[in-house]
Each structure stands twice: as C-alpha cells, then as structure tokens.
Structure 1
Amino acid sequence: MNTRRKEYEEIYDYSNYGFLFYYNKRISKSIPISKEDMRKISIGKGNGDKIFVVCKPCDIFMDFKSGPGDLEGQWVCPCCGARMRERTAYTQLDRENEEFMNNIESDNDFDEFYD
C-alpha cells in the first residue's frame, strides 16, 4: 500500500465522506461530500478513496480509469476527453492539509500571548 494513502487512512475516517474536485486545466480546492451525496454519483466516477472529479467546462462527472500502480489512474471527461492524473488530486489534498496545519501552528503561536 502506498505510504501516503496509509497516512490518510490513519488520520481520516473516509467511511462517511469523500472529496469532489472541479477540473479545467487546473484542479479546484477539495469539497467534502457526504455518503448520501456519493450514492447519487454513477459507479465508475470515483477512485477507491472516494475522490470524484467534475469537468468544469462540460459540467459532468469524469470517468475514473485505474492505472497499473498506486496513484497512476486518471479521470477522463466522457464529453471533451480532458484528462486529470490521480496523483494531481492527492497533491492538492496534501497542499490543503499543509495549509491547514500551518494555520493551526500559526494560531498556536498566539497562545503564548494569552497565558
């Protein structure tokens, strides 16, 4: 199992939600989606970690095609053929997690002034 994927599983409980991204040559920030909302999305649109991508110009969920190894899959728009690598979604989640952790750390820096 990929080390990064194992870290996510240990930190986050994926059983009740997934992530949605919009793609138009660049990926959007993630949008958490509930288990109920995921049930409304057609099978074959998300990867094993419940990540889904919408082609923004076509306003349609992209199809997920798995690859030969971890994070080597891709989403493909059934209308325009746009492609987004699976690794791109995880890179974006890493950026968002790092930003979140930095914000927490900077908030904690002010704690010393309130002691």
Structure 2
Amino acid sequence: MNRSMLKRLVAVTFAVGVAVVITSNSLFAYPPFLKQAQELGLKGAKDCTFCHTSPTGADGWNDRGQWLIKQKEERKAETIDVAWLKEYKPPKKGKKEDKPQKDQGKQEKKPTKSGN
C-alpha cells in the first residue's frame, strides 16, 4: 500500500465516522423511549413516528407526543415516563362528538322558533 492510498483510506474513514456521528445524534435521540414502549407492548411502537411527526424523531410531535408533553406538565414531572402511554387514548377520526354538538345547536333553535 503506497502513501497516497493510505491518505485516501484515512480520509474516507474519517468522513464515514463524521457522517455516523451526525446522523446518529438525530436518529437515536431517545432510543430508550422507543424500547420502553415496545417492552410495554404498545402497538405501533416501531419507530420515532410513534410520538413524532418525523421518522428521525426531531422536533414535531404527533397527537401522542403532544399528549405526553401535556402529561409531563400536568404531573409536574422532570422527564416523560413512557408508561403513561398506557393511559393514552388516541383521538377518533371523524369524532362522534362533533355530530351531537351540531344537533344540540339545532335543538336549541327549534324551541325558540316554535315559541315565537
């Protein structure tokens, strides 16, 4: 192996090392949280999108992540406890609550119309 090949090998090794350090910081910011969620048997805990909007786990939380942050504040805890997720109930798509609220508005109007 000549000297120029050795320099190239060192440069490539250094570049790969830097790339690993840069990407691992964002990709594995809280792997213990994900691991705990999986150990608790929480369905869907496959990657960072379990609580984040981004697969890298960066800023940006989905409903579950926002719920955890709110729980941390309400419980006045220093850190998030993944076990809280056992209490989490995801919002239902096309909430049934919306329909009764609309119906209640109609019911309120009917008595005033018939009373006139």
TM surpasses 0.5: no
Larger RCO (alpha carbons 8 Å, 6+ apart): 1
Greater strand proportion = 1
TM-score when normalising by structure 2: 0.30
Q: Which has the larger radius of gyration?
A: 2
